Structure 1
């Protein structure tokens, strides 16, 4: 396949709930070159990361997506401004709890995920295989 795709960014309005329908539509536009399964997986994973940032880190600063054709993955990066709050790896969850499954989905869908921090920001990233 080709080379690494251009990184595209979606900026969020501050102080409001994330417009998840708009985010999913934007993702479909950006990922028109990959298959429907990859797009659906990316939409689900991105929705989880954006929701986590909104609920636990005062919202999302920016969302970026790129396609690395040389590695056959879609990379999603979600920035927030709470670097001291780091998502925890999935542990045994109470099956009756209504919360706590977002990162389990991220782990199940992605080929890799992690957290990078800097001064005043945190980026949670994940890579989804292109199918």
Structure 2
């Protein structure tokens, strides 16, 4: 997880992303990566992060893709305070402008989230290569 957090911090700094937004992106990445590790049965995962235009403005789009299949259907439990599962996803929902989970064609799972961001006007940021986690 620490490698994924460093990856996000590095690219947020390169793109001049506000420190508060960068913190939100690190929290989201930690939760997405933790879910991939816990639920997929896969020993590793990939983090992809890009800046994109979305319906709700410019966003940092974060994806964590694993090579396993989560054993149960993805359902977030009701927020009753007693449930031990689903709290991490509620954190993601709290920080993200949009988020979701989908299965990939190659039997993996992709969890993603978008964080609204305002970038300085100095040209488009360079898009990074995915970072391998695990």
Partners of 2:2 and 2:53 in 1: how far apart?
Answer: 26
1:65 aligns to what? 49
Matched, 1:74 2:57: no
CA contact (8 A) 1:76 1:126 kept: yes
SS at 1:119's partner residue?
coil
2:76 aligns to what? 90
How many angstroms does 1:85 deviate by? 4.0
Structure-1-length-normalised TM-score = 0.73
User: Comparing 108-117 with 81-90, which one deviates more in the overlay?
Assistant: 81-90
CA contact (8 A) 2:41 2:70 kept: no
Which protein has greater RCO, CA pairs closer than 8 Å, 6+ apart? 2
Partners of 2:71 and 2:97 in 1: how far apart?
Answer: 23
Structure-2-length-normalised TM-score = 0.71
CA RMSD of aligned residues (A): 2.2
How many angstroms does 1:97 deviate by? 4.4
For structure 1, the residue ranges without an aligned partner over 5 or more in a row are 1-19
Q: Deviations over 1:29-48 (max 9, x none)?
A: 11112100110000000000
User: Comparing 28-37 with 39-48, which one deviates more in the overlay?
Assistant: 28-37
Alignment of 1:1-131 (within 5 A): 20-32=1-13, 33-59=16-42, 60-68=44-52, 71-83=57-69, 85=71, 88-116=74-102, 117-130=104-117
For structure 2, the residue ranges without an aligned partner over 5 or more in a row are 119-134
User: Comparing 40-49 with 92-101, which one deviates more in the overlay?
Assistant: 92-101
SS at 2:78's partner residue?
coil
